[in-house]
Structure formats: C-alpha cells, structure tokens
Structure 1
Amino acid sequence: MVRTRRLGRALGRVIGRALGREDRHDSDDVPQRRRPTAFARRQREAAPIAKDEPVVAEDVHAQGAETGHDREVFPGGSRDPLVLTEYDDHVAVIVWNGEEHPELKLSSYDKKVHKFGKPTPEIEGLVAATVLSPLIACSVDTGDRGLISAFVEQWHKETSSFYLPVGELTITLDDVASLLHLPIIGAFHTFEPLHVDEVVLMLVELLEVSREEARAETTQCHGAYVRLSWLRDIYQRRCQAGHWTAVARAYLLHLLGCTLFANKSATHIHVVFLDTLCDLS
C-alpha cells in the first residue's frame, strides 16, 4: 500500500507558497497533543526525575495497554479502575459485550403501603412530628422496565452516581427535598452494626414484644431483620392493647422499609433503622 498522506501535505505546502500563503499548522513536525489518562498522569507525578535526566515524551495510550487499564479490560467505560473498582462485574460490561443477562426484577412497595393504610388517628400526631408523613404518598408503581433498566445500567454504587452521556449525575439533598418533600436540615445519623442479641433487646424495648418472639423472628430472617408482614401484625396487636408509642414505631419502621430503606428482598427490613425511632418527640 502506497502512503500518500505526506505527499499530499507536501504538495499542499508548495501550492500554498506559490499562492503567497504560508501554512504553519499542517506540519508533520508539530506533535499532536494527546489527552493523557488519569492513570498515566499519576504515574508521571509519582516517578522521580533527576535534574540532569532528559525528559522523554511517552505514549500514554501504549502505557495504558501495558498496565491493563485500556478499553480491552473495561469495554465502553472507565479506563481507570481506581474509582469504579467493581466495573468489571457491572451489568454495563455484559450489555456492551452483547451477552445475555437475567431480566430485571422490579419490586414495588406501593401495594404494601396502601394495604397498611394511613396511621390510626391515635398516632397521627406522633407520625407527623417525625416529618416522615410525605413518604406515605411517594411510592410509584411503574411498568416501564426499559426506562428503569437504562438507569440501572448507568448506576455505580462506588460513587453513588449515574454516568450518562452528558456526564456524571449525582442525587443531591435538594433532589430529596424536591421529590420526597423531606427536610434536609439537621444532624446526620450514623448506623452502627448490631449483634443479634442487641437486635432482640431493641425489639423487646421499642416494640414491646417478648424476648422469645423477637428471637424467633430474627432466627426466621437469618439475622438482624424482621418481616414487613410481622410488623403489620405487631401494629394490629399494639393497637388493640392501646400501646400507641409502640404502634407508631411499628408503623414508621414499616414505612421506612417500603420507601427509604427498601431492599431487594421486598419482604424484610433491617432492625438497625428502629434505632432512629427511640425518641419520637
């Protein structure tokens, strides 16, 4: 194959001089600037350079291929695995390679919330004081699997962000206030890991169940979880007994398990969130 690119540029410069034009930009001697990867920049910054040692330009693309951070490892996505550490196991890689992946399972808690209904009048004041009442009406039942799947394929839990063609998109506290109508002021709450014995004690003190019942529930759930159906049963029993503080806690924990802290089980809620409902005032 004959390479005519240099010949064409040379003829262009000769014709340009004949016409009185001077081409300063189209020259083979001008190095073309390549945008380095973040990995290559860190490698150059970390490498010490002696005072008398000449600086040699490097091919960052070749370096990325040698270190295994090129697109062959992360097809269609990030070249730098230092941020998205679990990208190679992400569904986006499966989609890019054209492989089959399990159908997305959508779990809607809308029916569970409406089945529970509004809080009984005796605890409306307690529920309203927690400012969590807007969550009762925030559940959405949608059948558009394509739309949700598109967002799932762009979500990365390492950074809690969507990586879209227009750039990185992160859910902010302003979004929480706009969509869920919850206040975004106040102190942050840190959830500490709980031992099963601590979970049993918390259920006994805050939901007023027996130790045997609490132990049986955690055993059935294989850990620090309770079933949403179990909470609805506790709610009914505490209403009959007139223990309204325990009624409010059972209702709110069920509400949190169907909205803010819903999980893939679609049937369980972690008991650690009950810790935030100790003092309803």
Structure 2
Amino acid sequence: MCFINRFLTLDDDIIPYLYEAGFGYVGIVISGTKLLPPLINVLLEQWRPETHTFHFPCVEATITLEDVTYYLGLPVDENPITSIAHGNWKNLCEELLGHTPTPDDLDERKIYIKFLDDKFTQLPVDAALKIKLQFARAYILQVTGGILMPDKSRNKVHLMWLYHPLDLRAAKNKSWRSTVLAFLFRELCKDVHLNKQAIGGCLMLLQS
C-alpha cells in the first residue's frame, strides 16, 4: 500500500489558536511524525473486521478512545460531530477562509489540499485577527484531511469539516477523538482485505 505523510508549515502566531481549538498537539507535534509503511502493513494483515481487533500470535488488541486522546491529544468527547452533506461550499470557503475556490480546486464537496497549501503559505506581517483565524481554520482543515481523516487519495478534504472550527473555542468541545477512531475503523474494515494500493484514516494513530 502507498502511504503519504504531510509535513505542514505553521506560523508561530497561529499556534495559540490551534491550542484554543484543541488541535495544538496534533497540529504541531504529530504532523512531523514519520510513517513506517512496513510496520503499518504488518498491522493491516492482522486486522479482523468482524471484531474490530488485531489478532496477534499471543494477544488480541484494538485501538481505544483513550489511545486516541493519549497519542493525538484530541479533545475529549462532549458534543457530537455531525456530517453536513449539502451546502454552498464556495461561499463557505469565502466566509471562513477568505478565498473562493475555482472549479479546478474542488472535487464535488471536497477541496484539494493544494489549494490550502497555495493560499496559506505565509501569514502577512501584522495580520488582523480575522486573517489569523482564517489561517488557523485552513491549518485545521489541512490537519483533518492530511492526518486525522484523510481519504485514500490523501490530497483532498471534505469541506463539511470546515463547519466545525467556525468557532475555535466551540471546536474544542466536540467529539473529535470518537470521530477519528470511527473513521479509521471504517476504512480498515472497508479496505484492509481488498488489496488496495492506499488506505484512508489516521495511519499515525494506527502506527502509534
């Protein structure tokens, strides 16, 4: 299988807002962790979808919500995260990111992470609070699509995730850890035995 790990750039002025949203640890520390494909492949071979566990010669194990908190430092469970299937995605980007994507930047309800890379390369000097918040949301969206809940392409992220860091303080009170774990389990059960060339989900959590 093919594994891609994203190394994201980050301005120091954005860090306080990431911590405010509960993404400080995963956005700063975990984003620099290297993936080890041989180790991940061994784990995938031991996964049993019927029990959501890994079957090793001497033990049966799985990933728990406590593991997600310990390894990724994500906020604890409070308010559930619900998906949003429909919306004016261009207007949402303009409102929360300050940039309007072109048709080439979108794949239906997903936006290419390259769009975020290109538009949010460097925070302007003496940037206003509004701009800093836009950069923080863009970085959280990059982390979500590149690390926490990437699809198999690992170069796009669903824009429904942009709704949740609308208010950074409110984002910290949402159930990110259960959402990340459920997403990973779904990807494992869907793809692990189908000889796919890539797999979605948080592979750094799997590796940890």
TM-score, length basis structure 2: 0.67
| Cα root mean square deviation, aligned | 2.6
1:266 aligns with 2:154: yes
1:203 aligns with 2:93: yes
Residue aligning to 2:191: none
Give the one of 113, 120, 125 matched to 1:235. 120
Residue aligning to 1:191: 83
Query: How far has the Cα of 1:193 moved from its partner?
Result: 2.1
Residue aligning to 1:170: 62
Q: Distance in 2 between matches of 1:239 and 1:227?
A: 23
The verdict on how the C-alpha distance between 1:179 and 1:200 changes in structure 2, with shifts beyond 3 A counting, is: same
SS of equivalent to 1:226: strand
SS of equivalent to 1:231: helix
Residue aligning to 1:129: 20
The verdict on how the C-alpha distance between 1:214 and 1:141 changes in structure 2, with shifts beyond 3 A counting, is: same
Unaligned runs of 5+ in 2: 170-208
Task: Please tell me whether the aligned partners of residues 5 and 34 of structure 2 are also in contact (alpha carbons under 8 angstroms).
Answer: yes
Q: Residue deviations 1:86-112, cap 9 Å, x none? A: xxxxxxxxxxxxxxxxxx222222xx2
Query: How far has the Cα of 1:237 moved from its partner?
Result: 7.2
Give the one of 134, 138, 144 matched to 2:30. 138
SS of equivalent to 1:259: helix
Q: Distance in 2 between matches of 1:161 and 1:214?
A: 42
Q: Residue deviations 1:60-82, cap 9 Å, x none? A: xxxxxxxxxxxxxxxxxxxxxxx
The verdict on how the C-alpha distance between 1:127 and 1:155 changes in structure 2, with shifts beyond 3 A counting, is: same
Q: Distance in 2 between matches of 1:251 and 1:179?
A: 19
Task: Please tell me whether the aligned partners of residues 5 and 147 of structure 2 are also in contact (alpha carbons under 8 angstroms).
Answer: no
Report the structure number with the largest CA radius of gyration.
1
Q: Which amino acid counterpart does residue 131 of structure 1 have in structure 2?
A: G
Q: Distance in 2 between matches of 1:204 and 1:227?
A: 15
SS of equivalent to 1:162: strand
How many residue pairs get matched?
A: 164
SS of equivalent to 2:75: coil
Identical amino acids, percent of aligned pairs = 26
Query: How far has the Cα of 1:234 moved from its partner?
Result: 2.0
Alignment of 1:1-281 (within 5 A): 104-109=1-6, 112-113=7-8, 116=9, 118-121=10-13, 123-135=14-26, 136-139=28-31, 140-143=33-36, 145=38, 147-156=39-48, 160-166=52-58, 168-194=60-86, 197-210=87-100, 213-218=101-106, 222-236=107-121, 239=124, 242=128, 243-281=131-169
Q: Which has the higher contact order (CA 8 A, sep 6+)?
A: 2
The verdict on how the C-alpha distance between 1:251 and 1:170 changes in structure 2, with shifts beyond 3 A counting, is: same
Task: Please tell me whether the aligned partners of residues 226 and 268 of structure 1 are also in contact (alpha carbons under 8 angstroms).
Answer: yes
SS of equivalent to 2:148: coil
Task: Please tell me whether the aligned partners of residues 17 and 168 of structure 2 are also in contact (alpha carbons under 8 angstroms).
Answer: yes
Q: Distance in 2 between matches of 1:157 and 1:260?
A: 20
Unaligned runs of 5+ in 1: 1-103
